[in-house]
Amino acid sequence: MEMIYITILFFTFLAGEAKNLKFSSLILIPHSVFIVIAIFSLAYINNIPSLYLIGIIDFIVRAVLMPIFLLRCLRKRLEAEVRPSIIHPLSIALSIVILSVGYHFIEILKASVIPQALSSFSCGLTLFVYGFYLFISKKDLVKMIVSFFIIENGIHLLIISMIPHMSKFIEISLTFNFVVAIIFLVYLILRLNEVFLQEEIKKFKESSSQRSEQ
């Protein structure tokens, strides 16, 4: 199980720190696939059949729908990330600290304070903390959605690890809310991209007409 969580954290790091947004969005596919694998493993090891349903829904929503939505956001815009508020090398260093040190610290904390929580707890909490770090350090709108996605995945793993027998109807409703929020965010970004593109075209036309007048 540990290897699965470390792989999730590795892909999360790539998604968070990649400067190319297309790569960042695509890397969320293996990130989500490994989350689904973790859920199936938890369902099998702890004998919780209802988690299989959650795993299937997660595969559709997180591994298929979300990357498609995020890739749509990149239409009519540059694929390079808007400069974040923390310089890239420092951000990479901070990410490594949060993901590796954070994960091991939370693992120790879990073992001593809440041993009865399922093994995904440390990974979930690390994702939540790292997602929040990304949220406050990144300025790019697509990267903000990526960070929201990571935070939500963290919360999702926390629910599974802390209350695995919670009503599945509630969990599905939470996922539905998440999808609705993402759809609205993607819609806003698409419209913003259009507005920015129109502005660029307008500026270009103005500058070219000025040049021809001269």
Partner 1 sequence: MSFESIIFSLSFIAPMLASLLIFLFGKKGFIKEGISFFAIILSVVSTSSYWHYITLNNNTLLLYEESFYIDGFSILMQFMVEAVALLVISYSARYIEKLYFHKKEKFHVYYGVILLSTGFMNLAFILNNLFWVYITLELSSILAVYLIVFNLNKATLKAGFKYLIFVNVGILFSLLGIILLFYATGKPVMINNIGQAVSNLPYTIALICAVLFIIGFFTKSGLIPFHLWLPDAYAEAPSAVTVFLAGAVTKMGFYGLARTVTIFAFHYEEIKILVIILAALSMLLGALLAFNQKDIKKLIAYCSISEMGFIGAALALKSYEGIFGGVFQIVNHTLIKGVLFFSVGAIIYACGTRKIEEIKESIGKIPVIGITFFIGALAVGGMPLFASFLSSITIFLALAKEFLWAAVILIIAEFISVIALLKTAIYIFWQKNEHNKAQKSFIPFTIIFCTLTCAVLIILFGIYPEIIYPLIDSATRGIIKIAG
Interface with partner 1 (CB under 8 A): 114, 117, 128, 132, 135, 141, 144-145, 147-148, 151-152, 155, 158-159, 162-163, 166-167, 170, 173-174, 177, 180-181, 184-185, 188-189, 191-192, 195-196, 199
Closest to partner 1 by CB, 7 vs 66, is 66
Closest to partner 1 by CB, 63 vs 151, is 151
Least CB distance to partner 1 at residue 114 (A): 8
Tell me the C-alpha to C-alpha distance, in Å, between residue 48 and each of 165, 166, 170, 176. 8, 11, 16, 22
Matching residue, tokens 């990571």: 150
Burial class of residue 35 (count of CB atoms within 10 Å of its CB; 0-12, 13-18, 19+) = buried
Q: Which two tokens stand for residue 120?
A: 């995904």
Longest dimension (CA), the chain: 77
Least CB distance to partner 1 at residue 157 (A): 11
Closest to partner 1 by CB, 7 vs 62, is 62
- E strand or H helix that includes residue 72: helix 66-73
Least CB distance to partner 1 at residue 196 (A): 8
Least CB distance to partner 1 at residue 211 (A): 26
Closest to partner 1 by CB, 91 vs 147, is 147
CB atoms within 10 A of CB 38: 25
Least CB distance to partner 1 at residue 213 (A): 28
Decide: 42 and 119 in contact? Cβ < 8 Å: yes
